[in-house]
Amino acid sequence: MHNEPAKHASAMDWIGKSLGQYQLLRLLGTGGMGQVFEALDTTLKRRVAVKIIRTKHRRKPHAKQRFLREARILSQVDDPHICRVLEFVEQGDVEALVVEYIQGKSLESRMDGGFDEPLKLQIASQLLQGVASAHRMGIVHRDLKPGNIMLTPQGNVKILDFGVAMVLADESDVTIDMPPGKELTDAMSRALETHMGGIVGTPRYMSPEQARGDTATTASDIYALGLIFQHLFTGQSPYPTSTSPVGLLWRVMNAETHPITGLNKELTHLIQSMTQLNPAQRPSASELLSLLNRYLDRPTRILHRTLRFTAVAALGLAAIVSSYAYVTTSRAQAQTQQTLAESQAVNSFLKDVLSAASPERMGRDVKMVDVLDDALVKSEERFAQQPLVLARTLETLGETFYAMGSREQSVACFEKSRELRLQTQGEHHPDTLLSGHNLANLMLEMGRANDAETLEYRVWTYMEQTLGANHPQSLQCKNLYALIINACGRTSEAQTLWQQVVEAQRDHPDVPEAQRLIAMENLALCYMGQYRFQDAEPLLEASLEAKRAALGDNHPRTFDAMNNLAATWMRTGRTAQALTLLQKVHALERQHLGEKHPNSLNSMCNLAEALLREGRIDESEELLQQHDTLALEVLGPDHPINLSAPCRMAMVHWARGNLSEASHDNAKGLSALVAKMGPNQPFVLNQGRIQARIIRGLGDVEAAIERLQSLLQRCTAHLESGHAVTCGIARDLAACLRSQGRSDAADKLKSEYGPFFVDTDLPEQVK
């Protein structure tokens, strides 16, 4: 039998005793609901933490329900930054929760000791990841505070004590929970009695709505995180430490915190957005994580390498208006009176337009695209005499169109906005330069590489002229320009530029490690495009190792590095390793980014290819079908990813030996790509090569030769002679000619375009 202390024994009497299979070793701490012990799991031989509910609370049914709710909630959450529940134990009149044992110290104990900036950012990012995971399951913590956050010696974050958390659908009553040693004064008690329901949480980190007695939501957790971030980054408590309980409650209810000082504008605006008095104006945890990731890139560049837009979660006024607030926050523009007036004008306009277009007022089913189209027309009417306000409105609408997959409308908005800035602010104003840089990014994604090249070249050359060739901003513009010309087929030129960027950044004192990794990885991707996978592999392995060390395993940039390395492994014969890595990264991206995030879609597509290469055709086909359904919803029907969907399915048909179906699907996808991107883009030309390969497999070698000759002519006119696509087409043409006995012509091609590389684009099943 397991021994246990007497009914009224103290905490120390538990030491050395057992509760079920758990031997209690030492007291770790005491909270409002019970005592926490370090214990040994005598069955599995591991250390755990055991939380025993207080005797006085066991007599209250609601307390037991709350304790059980903690176990139930924690058992549903599987996130590396949330303390994992292992078991609920009930023995006699003793109830206990068994959770993972976490070594480290609380954030509260280290808050005033100071952290370096990278560790602060790492802590903030991990907190947002954990909270985002809980919120996706509809779980609200309701008592986030530094004392409920543990830091391991490795700098990893663990969120503890979901004892006052609730599932959103759970409407059970809760009780007031004050910190140990704090008692409610009569005045505060009277104030609290004026509200319906109970208040849960620690006052110093409580949201205003919780202090008023309103229902806590995910936005309440965001407010608490904002206060934690303010304390973490400024080193000062958000409220005066000498405030009386009544004074503190008044400050909490009215969001009267200390002004944020000593931080740069971006972090200041991020925290301010989290601590808005109105819960509807606070970003979600996922959106904040994206904004923080964007900020993590900002020390490495002022101009963005890629466009990241605020997603619109649902049709409604708050979603769009708050979307604009997030965008202006991320830009970190100076808060002048003019900027403030522009922001107010845009928000007021969006409120009027979207309110007028709501289904309730119009009496019909209104689609978001219809609302945005209406807003676009009205914005040009209202702000005809205010070009800068119109420019900002167009950018907001463009970002929203982008988030909804309406790429053409998005580009149109950005083009109009940039034209207004050119006319009003001039080509070299920082806002105009940023507008052009972001528009070039979008054009590149839309397959308009030639337009993007002209635009980005002007931005890049101006930055070099004014800041110098080795200034971090100039190097970032050079990086994007290299991406663009690489997409145009000028691989050697892009490689030279990236090599210059990598060399310039190597010992540059103002270039952080993250920026160096970006350039190094781009160079590796350039090598991959030239089928120089052996050159790319060590760069990608080094990049992944560095990102894991700097950002952790669960950072989006780490996911990118894992994807790229796996793609290289697939083409160097390490398919099984690539499959294992892709399965891991896809699971991580779905967990941390969501299954509809573009990164998750990309890893899903890569995983389907790895499965096909391993001969697991049915699994590959099922995954591709899931991918294409989600990509259509997220990216829209005109995105190149969706236009090429039949081409991906053609590989599945080919692997099964159904060449006729493969030919039909690939031709369908190829036709759509030509119409969208033009016939001379490297990706389109290579897809034409695959079509010729299928035709040859069907036995029509002469038709394959004719097609390959036409493709080679286009490559010669539009790509470098040594481009990988050009060489691949020449190799396939030589093989067809040799099969027809035309060895002289085949040898001539090999002499001109060789030596030919091994074709790693296609799985073995379809070669």
Report the SS3 class of residue 354. Answer: helix
What pLDDT shows up at residue 577?
Answer: 94
pLDDT in tens, 45-77: 899 999 887 655 454 566 566 666 666 766 777
Which of the four pLDDT bands, split at 50, 70 and 90, describes residue 365? Answer: very low
pLDDT in tens, 586-595: 998 888 777 8
How far is residue 422 CA from its own chain's centroid? 32
pLDDT at 571 over 80: yes
Q: Mean pLDDT, to the nearest integer, of 431-443?
A: 85
pLDDT at 307 over 70: no
What pLDDT shows up at residue 405?
Answer: 55
Which of the four pLDDT bands, split at 50, 70 and 90, describes residue 348? Answer: low
pLDDT in tens, 12-34: 678 888 898 999 999 987 765 67
Which region among 109-118, 153-162, 191-200, 623-632 has the lowest average model confidence (pLDDT)? 191-200
Q: Mean pLDDT, to the nearest integer, of 732-757?
A: 89
Contacts (Cβ under 8 Å, ≥6 apart) of 269: 329, 330, 332
What pLDDT shows up at residue 762?
Answer: 62
Residue 621: is it exposed, middle or buried by C-beta count within 10 angstroms (0-12/13-18/19+)? buried
Q: What is the DSSP letter of 260?
A: P
Which of the four pLDDT bands, split at 50, 70 and 90, describes residue 170? Answer: very low
297-301 own/partner pairs: CB under 8 Å, 24+ apart = 297/514, 298/266, 298/332, 299/512, 299/514, 299/515, 300/472, 300/476, 300/511, 300/512, 300/514, 300/515, 300/518, 301/472, 301/473, 301/476, 301/515
Question: How many residues are given for the chain?
Answer: 767
pLDDT in tens, 525-543: 888 777 788 888 888 888 8
Domains of the chain plus CATH, in order, are 11-100 (3.30.200.20), 105-280 (1.10.510.10), 301-418 (no CATH), 646-767 (1.25.40.10)
Which of the four pLDDT bands, split at 50, 70 and 90, describes residue 619? Answer: very high
721: left (phi over 0), alpha (psi -120 to 50) or beta: alpha
Q: Mean pLDDT, to the nearest integer, of 320-347?
A: 39
pLDDT at 316 over 50: no
Written as six digits, the tokens of 511 are 């270039």
CA–CA gap between residue 160 and residue 582 (Å, rounded): 31
pLDDT at 239 over 80: yes
